Amino acid sequence: MIAAAELTSPLDWMSWMILLDQITRNCFQDDEAGKAYAFFDERCLQVALEAIKRRIPEDPEIRYRQAYRLWFYMPLEHSESMQMQDMLFSEHKRMFSDILCVLKLKTELEEDMQVVPSIKEVLERRRPALEPWIGTLSRIETPKSLPHCNTGCVTSFAMTPGDVIFEGPSSHLQRKEQPEATFYHILVPSRSTPDSTAMAEALAGTVAIEQVISTAVEATAVAALAKPTQPLKGTLSQIAAFPANDSQLSLSRYNHTVTVIEGKAHMFGGQKQDSQLCSVDIHAIAIPTTGAAAASEYACYPALAMKDIDTGEMLVPARRTEHAACARGQYLVIHGGRDATGAVIDEDCIWLWDSRALSWSRIQAPSQIGKRLSPRYGHDIFLAGKEDVLVLHGGRTGPESPADVETWVFTFDTRAWTKLPSAPAAPMAAAFVDHVLYTVSRGVNTPGAINFLDIRGSAADRERADALEWQTVDYAVSPLAPAPEPREGGALVPITTGVGRNYLIYMFGHSDGALAGERDFYSDIWSLQVPSRGLSAAILKDAIREKLPRAESGEFSWAEVEIVPEEKHSGGGKAHPGPRALFGAAAAGDANLVFWGGINGSGSGSEEDTWLLQIQ
pLDDT tens-digit series, residues 361-400: 999 888 776 788 999 999 999 999 888 999 999 999 998 8
Which among 293, 180, 272, 159 is positioned nearest to 574, based on CA atoms? Answer: 293
Alpha-carbon distance of 485 to 581, in angstroms, equals 14
Please give the pLDDT value at position 518: 59
What is the mean pLDDT of the segment spanning 271-289? Answer: 93
Please give the pLDDT value at position 213: 35
Could you say which DSSP state residue 219 is in? G
pLDDT digits (tens, 9 = 90+) for 49-67: 999 999 999 888 888 787 8
Does residue 595 contact residue 580 with C-beta atoms inside 8 Å? no
Query: In 3-state terms, what secondary structure has residue 184?
Result: strand
pLDDT digits (tens, 9 = 90+) for 394-425: 999 998 899 999 999 999 999 999 999 999 99
Which among 383, 389, 349 is positioned nearest to 367, based on CA atoms? Answer: 349
What is the mean pLDDT of the segment spanning 28-37? Answer: 82
What is the mean pLDDT of the segment spanning 137-149? Answer: 46
pLDDT > 90 fraction of the chain, expressed in percent and rounded: 44
pLDDT digits (tens, 9 = 90+) for 428-460: 999 999 999 999 999 999 999 999 999 988 888
Please give the pLDDT value at position 538: 53
Please give the pLDDT value at position 605: 82
Residue 181 reports pLDDT greater than 90: no
Give long-range contacts, CB 8 A cutoff, 24+ apart: 126-131: 126/158, 126/163, 126/165, 127/103, 129/158, 129/165, 129/166, 129/167, 129/168, 130/99, 130/165, 130/166
Alpha-carbon distance of 460 to 35, in angstroms, equals 33
What is the mean pLDDT of the segment spanning 69-80? Answer: 89
Please give the pLDDT value at position 429: 98
Does residue 378 contact residue 404 with C-beta atoms inside 8 Å? no
Alpha-carbon distance of 62 to 119, in angstroms, equals 11
Please give the pLDDT value at position 537: 52
Please give the pLDDT value at position 210: 36
Residue 331 reports pLDDT greater than 60: yes
pLDDT digits (tens, 9 = 90+) for 452-482: 999 988 888 888 878 899 999 999 998 888 9
Q: Which amino acid is at 494?
A: P
Q: How confident is the model at residue 294 (pLDDT cuts 50, 70, 90)?
A: low
pLDDT digits (tens, 9 = 90+) for 529-560: 998 765 445 555 555 545 444 446 678 999 99
Residue 100 reports pLDDT greater than 90: no
CA distances from 470 to 382, 421, 453 (A): 17, 8, 5
pLDDT > 70 fraction of the chain, expressed in percent and rounded: 72
pLDDT digits (tens, 9 = 90+) for 488-532: 999 999 999 876 689 999 999 998 764 555 568 999 999 999 987
Residue 194 reports pLDDT greater than 60: no
* 53 alpha carbon, distance to own chain's centre: 27
Residue 270 reports pLDDT greater than 60: yes
CA distances from 391 to 56, 186, 579 (A): 41, 58, 30
Domain spans of the chain? 2-225, 233-615
Q: How confident is the model at residue 215 (pLDDT cuts 50, 70, 90)?
A: very low
Please give the pLDDT value at position 136: 60
Does residue 304 contact residue 358 with C-beta atoms inside 8 Å? yes
Alpha-carbon distance of 385 to 383, in angstroms, equals 5
Alpha-carbon distance of 11 to 1, in angstroms, equals 17
Please give the pLDDT value at position 290: 62
Q: 449 - beta bridge partners?
A: 441, 474
In sign, the C-alpha dihedral spanning 478, 484, 486, 489 is: positive
Alpha-carbon distance of 584 to 606, in angstroms, equals 12
Phi, psi of 243 (to 5 degrees): -60, 130
Q: Kindly report the CA angle at 308 between 306 and 312, in degrees rounded to 5?
A: 110
Alpha-carbon distance of 355 to 300, in angstroms, equals 12
More confident site: 16 or 347: 347
Q: Kindly report the CA angle at 590 between 439 and 551, in degrees rounded to 5?
A: 70
Residue 126 reports pLDDT greater than 90: no
* Mean per-residue pLDDT of the chain: 78
Phi, psi of 324 (to 5 degrees): -120, 150
Give the sheet arrangement for strand 407-411, strand by strand.
380-384, 389-393, 407-411, 416-420
CA distances from 264 to 165, 287, 566, 586, 587 (A): 50, 6, 22, 11, 11
Which among 22, 26, 21 is positioned nearest to 44, based on CA atoms? Answer: 21
Alpha-carbon distance of 67 to 213, in angstroms, equals 12
CATH of 233-615, one of 3.30.365.10, 3.40.50.150, 2.120.10.80, 2.70.70.10: 2.120.10.80
Q: Which of 3-7, 46-50, 481-485, 539-543 has the lowest mean pLDDT?
A: 539-543
